[in-house]
């Protein structure tokens, strides 16, 4: 039997927003690409996922989660992997601009 007492307890307040997501009940394949998916097929799938996100009542919570945890895969909060990487890159560039020269 697995010993679970040492595992962190779930914190409902941090995750209950997921219960209201438009993505609930959707196939995960809409949001996460299969191996070797490229080009138009990938763009079409991402567009479908982003359409689900478009009027989602928890869009901002989902996006904040993805950015905070650096979700590496899938569409989260209406942002795909490349868009999140661009945000991280822009943040890094701005931080470097504001650091004093050594």
Annotated binding site for [4Fe-4S] cluster: 23, 53, 56, 62
Distances (CA, A) of 62 to 65, 77, 100: 5, 5, 34
Contact 34, 46 (CB under 8 A): no
- Binding-site residues from annotation: 23, 53, 56, 62
Contact 84, 46 (CB under 8 A): no
């Amino acid at each position: 039997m697995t010993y679970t007492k040492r595992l962190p307890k779930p914190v409902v307040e941090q995750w209950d927003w997921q219960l209201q997501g438009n993505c609930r009940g959707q196939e995960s394949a809409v949001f996460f690409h299969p191996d070797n998916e490229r080009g138009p097929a990938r763009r079409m799938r991402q567009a479908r996922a982003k359409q689900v996100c478009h009027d989602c009542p928890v869009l901002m919570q989902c996006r904040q989660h993805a950015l905070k945890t650096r979700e590496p895969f899938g569409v989260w909060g209406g942002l795909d992997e490349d868009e999140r990487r661009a945000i991280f890159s822009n943040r890094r560039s701005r931080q470097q601009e504001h650091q004093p020269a050594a």
